[in-house]
Every structure is written in structure tokens, then in C-alpha cells.
Amino acid sequence: MTTAPATDPQPACSRHGGVGPASRRRIYRHIYPLRMLGMGLGALLVGSVLYDNQSPAWMWWLLAVTALGWPQLACLHARHSADPYRAEIRNLLIDSALIGMWVPLLQFNLLPSVMLTLVTTYDKLSTGIRRLWLHSLPGMLGMGALVTLLLRPEPRLESSLLVVLCTLPLIIVHALAISMASYRLIRTVARQNRQLEELRRTDTQTGLVARSHWQEQANASLERFHASGNPACLLMIDIDHFKAINDLHGHTAGDEVISVVARVVRECVRAHDQAGRYGGDEFSVVLSDTRAADAKAIAERICSRIAALRLRELPNLRLTASIGLAETTPSQAGLRDWMNDADLALYRAKHAGRNQVADFGAAPAAPQARTTLPA
């Protein structure tokens, strides 16, 4: 007979499957009901062949032991083993050997022999345990060869209508199990892809948008401006004297400063704005559908909120930030140009004494040569 196909494949992460310690200890609880179901369906199929062949009583006793006794012995063996996981692997190999034994006992009846062999092989594949199906072949083939040599059964390849009908439950249950396993696998992969995408989009320390995703959103805002004229503003936010904070108070304090400043930025911008961590102690915000005057109000609110921050561990530490602001203009051919404008405004805010907002558009009338800064 065969174990019923697993409806939730185990992950193959190591040479022996790579499941966690708790799963290794409980694996027999998962396989026992599946083995009982599979053995029951297999016994129905085998019994139909034995009935057609008018097999002797000892074969019926052997069928009863295989279908009813073996699942109990396998469960007891795994439950009381020092390593239930390895014990269950041995049980799965014995399952395959039992199939090898029954194929010649069924006189090589083609339909049940093929079905039992395919199903039990798929069971090994569905566990996710590396090469388990391959390791099961010697036992299956060896047992089949041994029984064939001992009994020399006369092949009867044809299958009666009774055998065909008794094969249907195994086919139906196996097909449903494969469908359920595929459905669960697809849902698992989709969930993991969503989690990976979320990790790609989010800076884990601050919860803000990660740099790569922020750049995509900033590029999209600039393209919308060039296409339809929808204005947007870019804020480049830099924590003042952050290196000194790290040097004087340690990197743990520096990480706390980054986290609390990121929280202020997130709370001060709107839901449709894109606030990201550009790198180190620098944050960047795209304010969609916003003119410079409104953007400056948001930036000044961020500045004042940061200046009001107090760390519980360092109550005497005074935090400030400088912010450079740049509105979209036709002269900005790409994101690099837009960011250069915001960086130049940030430089002016630093040069003017820090803890303030500087607007690139409010620069002195004398034109400034555009400096190429890293995007």
C-alpha cells in the first residue's frame, strides 16, 4: 500500500529536510493519519485484485497486517524513537518496500501496480526530503525481486472492472491531495513574495521607505510633473552634528536618534507622500501635488518637532535638523538634477547655522552653477 500524499510539503532545507526541532519531534503525528488513509485506499485496491485472483487466505492476512498493523507499528516506532524524524524516514522507506512486495503478489496486475508505485513515489517527493524517493527505490525493487524469485507468480496484466472501480478512490483522493498541496504552495510562495517585496520597500530600522523604492517613487513624481505639470517638492533632511552624537554617546544612541527622527518625519508628512531613509542620518521626502510654500510649512514643522525631541537616556541632548527644499522645475531633466537642487538648498541651511529650512527656489538672483552631487 501507500501513505496518502502529504497536503503540505515539508521544506527541504538540509540534507535531511531541514525542518525545525519541534516539527521533527511531531512529524509522526502528521504522517500517521495520512498513512492510515493511504493504506486503507491501497487495501481496497489490493483486495479487489486478491478477490479476482481467488488468492489464498494467507494473502488476506498479510493484507490486514499491512493495512492495519503496519501504520500502528510505524507510529509507535517513531513516537518512542530518540529521533522521531529519522525514524519516520525509515518508515517511509519501509512503505516503499511494502509496495515492492505487493506488486508481484498482485501478479503484476498492470493498473494497481502502476498506481501504487507512482503514488508511493510521489509521497516521497512531496515530503521535500532530498533524494528520499531515490533512496526508496532499492528497497522497493529489491523486495519486488525477492518475492518474485521466491513465489514465481504468473503475470496477469489485465484489470477487471472491479479493480478499475476500486482504483478510482485512490486516484480521486490523490488528485485532490496534489491540488491542495499545489494550492498551499502557491499561497505560501505568494505570501513570501509579498514579504520580500515589503522588505525591499521598507527600511527595517526606521520603517520608512527604503532608498531603492523611494527613488522609484521620486522618479515617478518627476515624470508626472513633466507630463502633466503636477508640482511636487523634495525635502532632504539631515540631522545636525550626527557624527558628534555617535562619537560622544555611541552608536546605540545614534541609532535611537535616527529612529525618533524617522518617527517625526513619518508623523509630519501626509499619507500619500513618500518619506524614505536615503542613507545614514539623511532622510528624503517627496511631497506630491505640493507647491514650495506648502512644502516649507511641512518642513518647518518637522524642524520644530525634531528640536523638541528629548531622549530618555540622554535628556540633555538637543537634536536639530537642517532641511533643503526643491520644487520641480522644467530644467530638472532627471532625479539627479532634482536631488542636486535639494542638496544645494540643504547646504545653504547648514551654512546659515543649521536647524532651519532652505528653499532652492528662494536662492539669490545670481545664478548658481549646478553642481553634480551623488544621487
- What is the per-residue pLDDT across 90-112, written as a single tens digit (0 to 9) for each? 999 999 999 999 999 999 999 99
Residue 375 cell numbers, joined: 544621487
* Domain CATH for 226: 3.30.70.270
Domain assignment present for residue 356? The answer is: yes
Looking at residue 355, the DSSP 8-state letter turns out to be S
In the numeric block, the cell 507647491 is attached to 291
Q: How many domains does the chain have?
A: 2
Domain assignment present for residue 302? The answer is: yes
Residue 94 cell numbers, joined: 519501509
> Which pLDDT score, from 0 to 100, does residue 27 have?
76
> Which pLDDT score, from 0 to 100, does residue 24 have?
66
> Which pLDDT score, from 0 to 100, does residue 375 have?
37
Q: Are residues 35 and 115 in the same domain?
A: yes
> Cβ–Cβ contacts within 10 Å for residue 139, how many?
18
Looking at the DSSP bridge assignments, the partners of residue 202 are 209
Please identify, among 179, 200, 221, the residue that sits at the C-terminal boundary of a domain. Answer: 200
Task: From 119, 124, 215, 224, select the one nearest 176 (Cα to Cα).
Answer: 119
In the numeric block, the cell 503525528 is attached to 29
Domain assignment present for residue 327? The answer is: yes
Please identify, among 200, 229, 264, the residue that sits at the C-terminal boundary of a domain. Answer: 200
Under-70 pLDDT residues of the chain:
1-25, 363-375
Looking at the DSSP bridge assignments, the partners of residue 321 are 239
CB 283, CB 265: distance < 8 Å: yes
In the numeric block, the cell 493519519 is attached to 33
Q: Are residues 37 and 155 in the same domain?
A: yes
Q: Are residues 129 and 190 in the same domain?
A: yes
Q: Are residues 58 and 148 in the same domain?
A: yes
Domain assignment present for residue 79? The answer is: yes
* Helices 211-228 & 161-201 angle (0-180, nearest 10): 80
Q: Are residues 247 and 343 in the same domain?
A: yes
Q: Are residues 280 and 242 in the same domain?
A: yes
Q: Which spans in 54-160 are helix H?
A: 57-64, 70-79, 84-105, 110-126, 132-151
What does the buried/exposed string (b/e) look like for 326-347 if buried means 16 or more CB atoms within 10 Å of the residue's CB? Answer: bbbeeebeebebbbbbbbbbbb
Domain assignment present for residue 368? The answer is: no
> Which pLDDT score, from 0 to 100, does residue 195 have?
78
Domain assignment present for residue 2? The answer is: no
Q: Are residues 267 and 293 in the same domain?
A: yes
CB 235, CB 295: distance < 8 Å: yes
Domain assignment present for residue 367? The answer is: no
Task: From 288, 239, 229, select the one nearest 265 (Cα to Cα).
Answer: 239
Q: Are residues 175 and 252 in the same domain?
A: no
What domain range includes position 164?
21-200
Encode pLDDT of 157-215 as tens digits.
999 999 999 999 999 998 888 788 778 878 888 888 887 877 778 888 898 999 988 99
Residue 301 cell numbers, joined: 514643522
Query: Which DSSP helix (H) or strand (E) runs through 190?
Result: helix 161-201
Please identify, among 136, 171, 200, the residue that sits at the C-terminal boundary of a domain. Answer: 200
Q: Are residues 163 and 123 in the same domain?
A: yes
pTM of the model: 0.55
Q: Are residues 79 and 28 in the same domain?
A: yes
Q: Are residues 165 and 225 in the same domain?
A: no
Cα distances from 2 to residues 6, 28, 128, 244, in angstroms, run: 11, 15, 17, 69
* Helices 110-126 & 21-53 angle (0-180, nearest 10): 180
Domain assignment present for residue 206? The answer is: no
Q: Are residues 167 and 237 in the same domain?
A: no
Gap between the Cα atoms of 125 and 348, Å rounded: 65
